[in-house]
Structure 1
Amino acid sequence: MVILYNIGINIYHFLVYLVSGFSNKAKLWITGRQRQQVKELESCVWFHFASLGEFEQGRPVLEQVRKLYPQSKIVITFFSPSGYEIRKNTPLADAVYYLPLDTESNARRFIGSIKPIVAIFTKYEYWYHFFNELHKQHIPLYVISGIFRPGQVFFKWYGSLHRQMLKMVTWFFVQDADSKHLMHDAGITNVTISGDTRFDRVWANAQQPKGLPEIENFKNGQRLFIAGSTWPDDEKLIAVLVTQYPDWKFIIAPHEIPEDKIIGLINLLPQKTTVRYSQLATHNTQPSTLIIDNIGMLSALYQYADVAYIGGGFGAGIHNTLEAAAFGMPVIFGPEYSKFKEARDLVELKAAFSINNKQELNAIAEMLMCDDNVRHAAANLTRNYVEQNTGATEVIINYIRERH
């Protein structure tokens, strides 16, 4: 099985190399790993994140480790350029790297250089050779905010290698009881139900959000609909609402912001009342629709919203609903949300609403945008849900503090 795994890793590397000729993300993935020079350390605490979302998810634990052990070096690795490029200069770390390709020699060399005294992986990212090297060197490995579903490879008849990876983890902190039961059925008992550290992160952000005066001026006292992390299928639906609710302001923050995508979005909307964020300061009239053409603002934007739409639900799955929910507002998204516990919970509470088409979006929008009582009731439910689910960071940190 390890031989097949190694073949798969090398095929993946070859395919990314081929795509790098016309994909900037793939190019960064290749060149970032080729150019980086890993510095030798005496010891460190190693945090690994798949991408930016997992960084934000694990950030509360990272911040607490930084406070508790100020003398310890912190090393962060990312698998994806979208995490590395945005957080490569974070003051929370002493060094930030791309995770090298998962080969036996790379794992031995990288871990031998940074010499972690503990490794903390967030949610997922299971790499056989890195896990095996940590295990061989008796370096504690923790997985935080883990979540498991029956359809994952760990629980398939052909998943023996992945189950072996699970047995290399020192302790799992999982989001829910279902995950713990699945792990127990697979023979993994070193599991604590801690909850999801994302709740801690978004709740803290909502208590002290970064003010955005230009957004407050744009809103100008009107009600505001924010569509975050949108894809083209989402944007076609939102464009209809823009014309139907002229007394509302709209902000659309696309998940991807290359120039052709921004121009395509602008062409869907009323030209005279639509402006890009980068041109907002020089815009002479009062626009009704604002397109965010940068990365990093969305979590702060939600503080001004009255209703939020979360993109991705017509593709692989919705993006982060909790950032919006923490500020207290009803949330709308597409049909692909079943993998996300918080989305299922919010739908069950009638604080979030899943739609399959334009007709369903129109019906939900009319309910939320025309009836203040319904909207405010849903807003209270979302805020309370987030607050009641905080506390995962404390569980994890208490465990680590007792043992290190």
Structure 2
Amino acid sequence: MRFFYNFLASLFVLCALPVFFWRLMKEPGFGERLKQWFGFLPAESLESVAKQQCLWLHAASVGEIVAASPIVKEMRAAFPTRKILISTVTVTGHEMAKKILPDADSIIFFPFDLPWLIESVVRRIEPALFVLVETELWPNFLQAMEKRKIPVLMVNGRISDKSIKRYHYLFSLLREMMQSVSLFCMQSSQDASRIITMGALPEKVVVTGNTKFDQTYTVVTPLEKKHLLANLGYSEENDFLFIAGSTHEGEEDQIFAAYLLARQSVPALKLMIAPRDIRRSAEVIKIAEGYSLFPIRRTELPDKTGDVVLLDTIGELGRLYSLGNIIFVGGSLIQRGGHNILEPAAHGKPILVGPHMFNFKESYALLQGRGACMTVHDSKELAEKIVLLVQDREAAKNMGRSAAEIMRENSGAARKSVEYMRRYV
């Protein structure tokens, strides 16, 4: 099975070479990412961590980096003399890591899971511990860790229905991967049950909770909030800010329609929209203009003015949620599965989402069950809820209060995870 996996992985890379070449010509910075994918890691990135018995944490993309932020903070406190290496897969994840993980000593792109690449990279780094965030299981990498007797921990483990189906195609290789992991720290009992179904030994599985309840990188002081509002051209006293975060294609039309409808009842209503993929910024601007709106990019402020701010930066959304009076979290009006609703909850904000939150079932059920989150199904209903929360300030305040209470009650997962790490470091 491993031979078949390596054959397919090699074939995938070979077939992708024309795409890589095209992106190399079109995307600034793609060359550095590609080099690191192929194991050519910059000497300056490895200088402080290679062969230093570092702690290596891997978080594939933005969501995993957010989940990793409180863990890295706890790791630095628990192991002050250890070097911390972070690896990511995506460019946005890499940029996010640079913004919100100040305790990291080095940040790299994770190489392709090809045996000769993995062997070379692991041999150069030789970490004391490898920590993977959520669900990042790579057969050759785990084999290299096991070969060198380097412990591997899964933290903030989350197994979706889609993950179970995908990993089951690995058959015997899946069992080998499960045996290579020293401990699985899972978000919930359901995730724990799923990882056991996939082949993990029950005695290697613990429930530690969701580290996204511990996030602190989004904290904004009153003075910072005042400066941010001024920079964005908003008035805390006169404006009512609606923020739509992590939106996808098929959602912006509904959001702009809802905004215009709600603004008929609330003239002071302002909108900030943050597409999940900032490369879609130009597309979203065109959609807004189709509704006779005048969008302005965040990177153009404060030099220009408009009636909609489009967030085209990485790593800011979590902090800017603190400015909003009502938050909508995207990926949920379409069948994408939703995005992290705990970021606005950390600021004690009333939250609106669409009906498709299947990637965040537990946190969605928790917030909705306590009245901290409302579900809308279309632009008309979204507009109605916005107007309702503007006019009923007490209801909005109660939703925000419930969200903040839930965050406090469920904190501590990062600390628990790091306590388990002590067994292996």
TM-score normalised over the length of structure 2: 0.85
Q: Name the residue aligned to 1:172.
A: 184
* Farther-moved stretch of structure 1 (169-178 vs 389-398): 389-398
Distance 1:207 1:219 in 2: 16
CA contact (8 A) 2:246 2:330 kept: yes
Q: Name the residue aligned to 2:247.
A: 230
Q: Name the residue aligned to 1:275.
A: 296
1:164 deviation in Å?
Answer: 2.4
2:123 aligned with 1:112: yes
What is the correspondence of 1:153-232 to structure 2 with a 5 Å cutoff? 153=165, 156=168, 159-185=171-197, 186-189=199-202, 190-202=204-216, 205-206=218-219, 211-217=224-230, 218-220=233-235, 221=237, 222-232=239-249
1:121 deviation in Å?
Answer: 0.7
Distance 1:14 1:356 in 2: 43
What is the correspondence of 1:119-138 to structure 2 with a 5 Å cutoff? 119-138=130-149
CA contact (8 A) 2:36 2:111 kept: no
Structure 1 residues 178 and 29: CA distance shift in structure 2, 3 A: same
Structure 1 residues 256 and 269: CA distance shift in structure 2, 3 A: farther
Q: Name the residue aligned to 2:10.
A: 10
SS at match of 1:233: coil
SS at match of 2:128: strand
CA contact (8 A) 1:211 1:300 kept: no
2:37 to 27, 33, 37: 33
Q: Name the residue aligned to 1:248.
A: 269
Structure 1 residues 164 and 154: CA distance shift in structure 2, 3 A: farther
CA contact (8 A) 1:154 1:160 kept: no
Q: Name the residue aligned to 1:49.
A: 59
Q: Name the residue aligned to 1:98.
A: 109
CA contact (8 A) 1:28 1:81 kept: no
Q: Aligned letter for 1:304?
A: L
CA contact (8 A) 1:210 1:300 kept: no
Question: Which runs of 5 or more residues in structure 2 are unaligned?
Answer: none
Q: Name the residue aligned to 1:388.
A: 409
Q: Aligned letter for 1:216?
A: L
1:401 deviation in Å?
Answer: 2.5
Q: Name the residue aligned to 1:325.
A: 345
Structure 1 residues 358 and 117: CA distance shift in structure 2, 3 A: same
Q: Name the residue aligned to 1:303.
A: 322
1:115 deviation in Å?
Answer: 0.8
Q: Aligned letter for 1:64?
A: E
Structure 1 residues 327 and 85: CA distance shift in structure 2, 3 A: closer
SS at match of 1:312: coil
- 1:161-195 per-position Cα deviation (integer Å, ceiling 9, x unaligned): 22321221000110001122233444521111100
SS at match of 1:205: coil
Q: Aligned letter for 2:323?
A: Y
- 1:196-219 per-position Cα deviation (integer Å, ceiling 9, x unaligned): 1111015x6347588244542333
Question: Which runs of 5 or more residues in structure 1 are unaligned?
Answer: none
SS at match of 1:30: helix
2:363 aligned with 1:363: no
CA contact (8 A) 1:252 1:290 kept: yes
Matched positions, count: 400
- 1:118-145 per-position Cα deviation (integer Å, ceiling 9, x unaligned): 1111011110011111112111100000
CA contact (8 A) 2:92 2:314 kept: no
Structure 1 residues 265 and 200: CA distance shift in structure 2, 3 A: same
Structure 1 residues 390 and 15: CA distance shift in structure 2, 3 A: farther
TM-score normalised over the length of structure 1: 0.89
Distance 2:380 2:221 in 1: 37
Q: Aligned letter for 1:30?
A: L
Structure 1 residues 28 and 318: CA distance shift in structure 2, 3 A: farther
Q: Aligned letter for 1:376?
A: K
1:50 deviation in Å?
Answer: 0.4
* Farther-moved stretch of structure 1 (129-138 vs 53-62): 53-62
Q: Aligned letter for 1:388?
A: E
SS at match of 2:401: helix
- 1:44-71 per-position Cα deviation (integer Å, ceiling 9, x unaligned): 1111110132122112221222233232
Q: Aligned letter for 1:104?
A: P
CA contact (8 A) 2:156 2:208 kept: yes
Q: Name the residue aligned to 2:72.
A: 62
Distance 2:185 2:124 in 1: 27
Distance 2:78 2:200 in 1: 33
* Farther-moved stretch of structure 1 (343-352 vs 122-131): 343-352
Report the aligned-residue RMSD: 2.7
Distance 1:277 1:157 in 2: 43
SS at match of 1:211: helix
SS at match of 1:387: helix
